Structure 1
Amino acid sequence: MKAAIVTIGDEILIGQIVDTNSGFIAKKLDKIGIEITEMLSISDNKKHILDTFAQLQNKVDLVLITGGLGPTKDDITKKTFCDYFEDELVVDEVVLQHVTQLIERIYNRPISQINKDQALVPSRCTVLKNANGTAPGMWMQKEQTVFISLPGVPYEMKDILENVIVPKLIQEYQRPFILHQTVLTYGQGESLVAERIEQWENNLPSFIKLAYLPSPGRVRLRLSARGINEELLREALSEQIKQLSEIIGDIIVGFDENETIEAVLGKMLTQRNKTLATAESCTGGKIAQVLTSIPGSSAYFKGSVVSYSKEVKINILNISPETIDKFSVVSKEVAEEMALSVQGKMKTDYVISVTGNAGPTKDDTDEEIGTVFIGIATPEKVIVEKFNFGQPREKVIDRAVNKSFEMLQKEILKNV
């Protein structure tokens, strides 16, 4: 099956809100073997909606629409559905009863006519129960395409999709298996990784596709296998991952789409009963923020000192003023002292320290914009490396965060 996802709402098109619904829907459909071919965001305009429906008609098997089901005049999806399917709105008594209970018993106020109108649905549609709101979903078919309309409120949409639509699709349609395996690499750019695995990639089976998903300092390699025999697909993916590991095992840090390097580091530290702290300057606490986004990080992460100014480096971290005067705040020597200071104060096994010039100006250092020194304090030593991550500022910070994790992982592995 092929599907398209359509989000309706001017608020999305003007950037007032971010569309998170499409990504959620896409993941759920992909898991049950439905291929997403298009994602569209369109305005609350009747002609635009009708034109979009007509363009997708018989082009895909399934169209999922979110938004425009509210009680106000700017929500026109239901009426437009009726126009497209040459139908009329009627009161669904089950929906009306649900809306009445929701308004009067839970919200504790009298039901208005606007609320009652939420029970109006096209006469020929299959009503999809919305347990968490007043706007029901609608399922209608025209020729070879099923159109499904869902409320735009994320938690309402998610409940209908997971508990009503997905089970219905599984029951009524035959679908192929779509399996994904993600390989997470750190330390080399997309072009270099592609060069190293070119021969392997050229020999992939026809039913397995490879996608490169790069971001600063890391590249995710996603293998997608499609077919009717799930066991054979899993075996083929496993064999390809094994071959890939033999080629670029030195930069692979994980094999799960959601297994980031910070999560891998957390497992490594926990398994070894080791602790970590950070001393940050140009990254402004982002390393600590990323680390603490991992559930259970309190078991190994002790804290951070964000010494963004020279005064904090001197007064809190006790960095020698003479060191700063001689080498500047962006230097190997300052990065080393930052690491040792935090290691002593927090009594941790490991410390990440970062000082650099993220831009847009050089401030009080002669180092080029984009220059970053990253230090790793281990139980035995401190190592510091110098990098130039270029520009813009956001890229420098993101690459510094990722590179610091990569360096820490390598040091931890040396003590295995």
Structure 2
Amino acid sequence: MNAEIITIGDEILIGQIVDTNSQFIGQQLNKIGVSVYQITSIQDDKQHILNALKEAQERVDIVIITGGLGPTKDDITKKTIAEFFNDDKLIEYPEVIEHIKGLFQKINHPFKEIQRYQAQLPSKATLLQNDFGTAPGMWFYENNTVFVSLPGVPYEMKGLITSQVLPKIQQQFKLPFIIHKTIMTYGAGESTIAERIEDFENNLPSHIKLAYLPSFGKVRLRLSAKGENKEVLEKALNDKVSEVYELLPEIITGLDDDSSLEKRVGELLKKNSKTICTAESVTGGKIAATLVSVAGSSSYYKGGFVAYSAETKINLLGVCPETIKKHTVVSKEVAIEMAKGAKERLKTNYAIAVTGNAGPTTDDTDKSVGIVYIALVADNEVFVGEFDFGQPREKVINRTVSKALEILQKQIL
């Protein structure tokens, strides 16, 4: 069972917004056994939309469209879809009018006639009531293909996908199971790993695929299996995971359960009743922002310091001026003192500190661009490492955040 996702909107094509809708839809479809064959982004243009719908119908079983369902003149999706389905007519759905009026009444907003257009849908559409907004979704079944049109607002789209679209797809089609197991590795590059598991990869059965997913300082190995029997697939994948563990024992840190590194770190901290604080220079608070992006982080993250200048490191964290004079601000000695100062002030179990050169200049240090020191102070020990994250600036900052969280995770484990 294959699907295509079509996102409509000039704002995506010009880079004004990032298409997170396709990512979410793809993830949700995969969970119920639907493979995404293609993702297409197109303009708010009638002929472009018609062409995309026609081409998608020839390729896949399910077409999911997002965007272009607002009340303004530039939102042409409904009229274009009606034309695609043999010049279907738009008719008004009274239940949508009442729903919109109810939403507006809750916020003391008057109902305007322009909103009436959102209640007009092609007569062939099955209404998907949008509990989170004014634009309803639409479901069509034509020539053995399902077409679903959803609003582009992410939280509205997500509500419709989870509450209505996925259940209808599961009801209409007999779907296979698609199962993934992702192994996390650190400390070896993609080519090195591929060489070490070449025989394993060559001998995988046809229904199991291996993908390499490299990112900042790590490589994820995703094993995917597709078939009709879930228990058989799970056993086969677990066996293959065990084989990889035997081949790469020293670089595997565990399985990725689809949660982020910051979420896994948070779960470990909560499980062990530990707390953490941060002291950041080169990352400018991004480690803190990453940690607190997880719901419930207040139970383990106690606060942090953004000490960007030498004076701030001295005044906020108690870094010794002589340490800076002797070793410069980009040094393992300063990183350790930053971490110790944060831990002492916030009384936590762990403290992470980072200092380095993100570039493009090196300021008053003798270290090259890309050099970063990460210090972790635990209850009874201190770790500090020097890393060369290269260039450009954004890469250095992002890799520093990832590496800091990886070090914390390993220390807790």
Specify if TM > 0.5.
yes
The letter for the 2-side match of 1:89 is K
**Equivalent residue, structure 1, for 2:211:** 211
**Equivalent residue, structure 2, for 1:84:** 84
User: 2 CA distance for matches of 1:204 and 1:280?
Assistant: 45
For residues 270-291 of structure 1, what are the alpha-carbon distances to aligned partners after superposition, in whole Å with 9 as ceiling and x for unaligned? 4444433322221222222222
What does 1:45-84 align with in structure 2 at a 5 Å threshold?
Answer: 45-84=45-84
In 2 relative to 1, CA 167–275 (structure 1 residues): closer, same or farther, beyond 3 Å? closer
CA contact (8 A) 1:87 1:124 kept: no
User: 1 CA distance for matches of 2:158 and 2:49?
Assistant: 22
Aligned-partner SS, 1:335: helix
The letter for the 1-side match of 2:364 is D
Give, in angstroms, the shift of residue 210 of structure 1.
1.6
Return 5+ residue gaps in structure 1 as ranges: none
Aligned-partner SS, 1:163: helix
User: 2 CA distance for matches of 1:81 and 1:201?
Assistant: 45
User: 1 CA distance for matches of 2:182 and 2:313?
Assistant: 40
CA contact (8 A) 2:96 2:136 kept: no
CA contact (8 A) 1:184 1:257 kept: no
Q: Please identify, of 163-172 and 83-92, the stretch whose mean Cα deviation from structure 2 is larger.
A: 83-92
**Equivalent residue, structure 1, for 2:138:** 138
The letter for the 1-side match of 2:407 is M
**Equivalent residue, structure 1, for 2:287:** 287
In 2 relative to 1, CA 292–150 (structure 1 residues): closer, same or farther, beyond 3 Å? closer
**Equivalent residue, structure 2, for 1:247:** 247
CA contact (8 A) 2:137 2:151 kept: yes
CA contact (8 A) 1:277 1:346 kept: yes
The letter for the 2-side match of 1:127 is L
Give, in angstroms, the shift of residue 5 of structure 1.
0.7
User: 2 CA distance for matches of 1:224 and 1:37?
Assistant: 16
CA contact (8 A) 1:3 1:34 kept: yes
Correspondence 1:201 to 2:206:
no
**Equivalent residue, structure 2, for 1:31:** 31
Aligned-partner SS, 1:57: helix
**Equivalent residue, structure 2, for 1:331:** 331
For residues 51-98 of structure 1, what are the alpha-carbon distances to aligned partners after superposition, in whole Å with 9 as ceiling and x for unaligned? 112222222111111122222221111211222221332424444553
CA contact (8 A) 2:361 2:369 kept: yes
User: 2 CA distance for matches of 1:274 and 1:96?
Assistant: 50
What does 1:110-125 align with in structure 2 at a 5 Å threshold?
Answer: 111-125=111-125
In 2 relative to 1, CA 47–207 (structure 1 residues): closer, same or farther, beyond 3 Å? same
User: 2 CA distance for matches of 1:227 and 1:112?
Assistant: 51
User: 1 CA distance for matches of 2:135 and 2:226?
Assistant: 36
User: 1 CA distance for matches of 2:381 and 2:127?
Assistant: 66
> Structure 2 length normalisation: TM-score?
0.91
**Equivalent residue, structure 2, for 1:237:** 237
The letter for the 2-side match of 1:114 is I
CA contact (8 A) 1:67 1:77 kept: yes
Aligned-partner SS, 1:29: helix
**Equivalent residue, structure 2, for 1:375:** 375
CA contact (8 A) 1:7 1:41 kept: yes
User: 2 CA distance for matches of 1:129 and 1:379?
Assistant: 54
The letter for the 2-side match of 1:256 is D
User: 2 CA distance for matches of 1:105 and 1:34?
Assistant: 39
Give, in angstroms, the shift of residue 236 of structure 1.
0.9
Give, in angstroms, the shift of residue 298 of structure 1.
3.4
**Equivalent residue, structure 2, for 1:403:** 403
> Structure 1 length normalisation: TM-score?
0.90
User: 1 CA distance for matches of 2:349 and 2:193?
Assistant: 32
Aligned-partner SS, 2:317: coil
User: 1 CA distance for matches of 2:134 and 2:19?
Assistant: 21
The letter for the 2-side match of 1:197 is I
What does 1:176-325 align with in structure 2 at a 5 Å threshold?
Answer: 176-325=176-325
User: 1 CA distance for matches of 2:205 and 2:407?
Assistant: 35
Aligned-partner SS, 1:315: helix
- Root-mean-square deviation over aligned CA pairs: 2.4
CA contact (8 A) 1:254 1:261 kept: no
CA contact (8 A) 1:2 1:36 kept: yes
Return 5+ residue gaps in structure 2 as ranges: none
Runs of 4+ more than 6 Å apart? none
**Equivalent residue, structure 2, for 1:357:** 357
Give, in angstroms, the shift of residue 267 of structure 1.
3.8
% identity of equivalent residues: 54
**Equivalent residue, structure 2, for 1:158:** 158
Q: Please identify, of 265-274 and 15-24, the stretch whose mean Cα deviation from structure 2 is larger.
A: 265-274
For residues 304-354 of structure 1, what are the alpha-carbon distances to aligned partners after superposition, in whole Å with 9 as ceiling and x for unaligned? 222211111222222222222222111222223223333333333332222
